[in-house]
Structure 1
Amino acid sequence: MSNVKLAIALVLVLWVANVNAQQKAPGSDRNKHGCIGSAGYTYSVVRNDCVRLFEEKIRLKEKTPKGSYTSDAVVIFDKSRQRAEIFLPGSNGSSILKKTKVKGTTVWKAGALVLATQGNGYTLKKSGKLIYVM
């Protein structure tokens, strides 16, 4: 075998070995809380557990979609309903809202976010603007 062919063969072998070394085993992408992202899990602060957002029951629809699709926000309450955890599309992590009274109405607030009950559903406002409804 010529030196050129030997060199090409050696480069290919090393490249294949490098690609195989970079591949992770399924389920090995656990975050610091032990949640496996590739299986659809993310960490919920109020539950102190891994959850799949697409399995959660309280989903709010975007009030004014910007594209040809509507995104959902997910709400998870703690057992006492004193805290609401909001997962917004495109956000890194979640926001924790605390239960309070505003003008005699129970709402959950954190900064500019306000979650309120409306009939059998919920509304989510940011800086006073309605952004999600259920």
Structure 2
Amino acid sequence: MKNLLLLFTIASIFISCKLNDATEEDTKTPVKDSTIVGADKDENGCLASAGYTWSKLNKECVKAFTGIQLNPTDNAATEDETLCAYVLFNEDGDKAEIFLPDDKSFIVSKSGSEKVWVFEDYQLIAQNGYQLKKAGQLVFSGDGEIGNKVSGSDNPDGQE
């Protein structure tokens, strides 16, 4: 009987130590993050979360908002870059890619010697900066300077 009691005590101690070890091990193991870095790449390999999109004109990932900003004419004072269109030119300046707010982009080509680039019913006109017209209707315009604009500031740093 003493042997049976001793065996039961040893077995209880052994089992309780194993349970404690398993519990401690579970608390020490860090929870792995299931988020994969770079998982938001598009079909061309551009990292959207970093602001990159595919340029049909340049055949590479670009940050469209580094181009010439065109504000919507119905809300010209907007500071919301997601409502603006952006223009990126090729090296020769005879073609430009227009990035619209709805993530649509298209390439316009220079028409003759004038400062007009055309694609279907879109026209990009170099006049007082740039104007983008659709079917003759002005939809976007900008001062022709590259990059995002902060309204109400003449200083590029935003400092007074």
TM-score greater than 0.5 by the shorter chain: yes
Describe the superposition over 1:93-117 as per-residue Cα deviations: whole angstroms up to 9, x where unpaired.
301111113xx62211001100010
Unmatched segments (≥5 aa) in structure 1? 1-19
Name the structure with the higher helix share: 2
Q: Supply the distance in 2 between the matched residues of 1:105 and 1:80 (Cα, whole angstroms).
A: 15
Equivalent AA in structure 1 for residue 91 of structure 2: K
For the Cα contact (< 8 Å) 2:73–2:138, is it kept in 1? yes
CA RMSD of aligned residues (A): 2.3
Give the TM-score, by structure 1 length.
0.70
For the Cα contact (< 8 Å) 1:62–1:131, is it kept in 2? yes
Give the corresponding residue for 1:127. Answer: 135
Give the corresponding residue for 2:115. Answer: 106
Give the corresponding residue for 2:26. Answer: none
Name the structure with the higher strand share: 1
Structure 1 runs, 4 residues or longer, greater than 3 Å off: none
Unmatched segments (≥5 aa) in structure 2? 1-31, 143-160
Equivalent AA in structure 2 for residue 34 of structure 1: G
For the Cα contact (< 8 Å) 2:96–2:109, is it kept in 1? yes
Give the TM-score, by structure 2 length.
0.60
Q: Identity rate of aligned residues, in percent?
A: 36
2:49 aligned counterpart, secondary structure: helix
User: Could you say which structure has the greater relative contact order, defined with CA pairs below 8 angstroms and 6 or more residues apart?
Assistant: 2
